[in-house]
Amino acid sequence: MALLDILNYPDPRLFTVAKPVQQVDGRIQQLVSDMAETMYAAPGIGLAATQVNVHEQVITIDISDQRNQLLVLINPRIIAKDGSQVYEEGCLSVPGIFEEVTRAQHIVVEALDVQGKKFTMEAEGLLAVCIQHEMDHLLGKVFVQYLSPLKQNRIRTKLVKRQRELA
C-alpha cells in the first residue's frame, strides 16, 4: 500500500473526465487499496481516482465513525434520484474550504465492487451527497463549480496563494 498525492484545485488535471475501468484486476485492486489508505490518512470520507491523477472511474468512500466500512464504486452510474438537500461540503482537493451545495436527497447507484461484481444500492443523506460529490470528480467537476463565479474566484486565488507560500 502507498499514500498517493492528492491534486489541489485549481490543478487542470482535476477537470479530466475519467474513463470506465475495462477490467477489475490486480492493478485496480491495488489502486483501491492505495486510495483507501490515502483517504483515511488525509483524513477524508471520500476519494475519486481523478483526485490522485488516475483518470479511471474508481471511488472509495467511508462515512462510518469507526472508519471500517469501506465502500468501493467502480464505473458508478446513478440510475435514479429524487428530492433535494443542501449540505455543507468540503473536499480533499480543496483543503480548508467548506460551502453549501444542493444535491439529490435520495439516489440509486449501480456499480462494480472491488471484485468486479455488479451491484445496486440506495443512498440518502450524507452517503448520497458523498457519492454524488465523488462522481462529479469522475466527470471532471469540482464542488466549487456549483458556487457563484465570485466565490470560485476567491477560492482559486486563496488556494493558489497558499500553494505559493508552501513552495
Task: Give domain limits for the chain.
Answer: 12-166
Among the options 37, 124, 134, 165, which is catalytic? Answer: 134
pLDDT at residue 98, rounded to an integer: 96
pLDDT at residue 114, rounded to an integer: 98
Residue 36, all three cell numbers: 483507501
CATH class entry, domain 12-166: alpha beta
Reported as a single tens digit per residue, the pLDDT across 93-134 is 999 999 999 999 999 999 999 999 999 999 999 999 999 999
Active-site residue flag, 134: yes
Distance CA 15, CA 19 (A): 13
pLDDT in tens, the chain (167 residues): 699 999 999 999 999 999 999 999 999 999 999 999 999 999 999 999 999 999 999 999 999 999 999 999 999 999 999 999 999 999 999 999 999 999 999 999 999 999 999 999 999 999 999 999 999 999 999 999 999 999 999 999 999 998 899 88
Q: Residues 108, 121: contact at Cβ < 8 Å?
A: yes
pLDDT at residue 82, rounded to an integer: 97
Concatenate the DSSP letters of all residues of the chain into one string: --PPPPP-TT-GGGGPPPBPPS---HHHHHHHHHHHHHHHHTT-SEEEGGGGT--BSEEEE---TTS---EEEEEEEEEEEE--EEEEEEETTEEEEEEEEEE-SEEEEEEE-TTS-EEEEEEEHHHHHHHHHHHHHHTT--GGGGS-HHHHHHHHHHHHHHHHHH-
Sign of the CA dihedral 108, 110, 115, 117? positive
Q: Is the peptide bond before 149 cis (omega within 30 degrees of 0)?
A: no
pLDDT at residue 167, rounded to an integer: 82
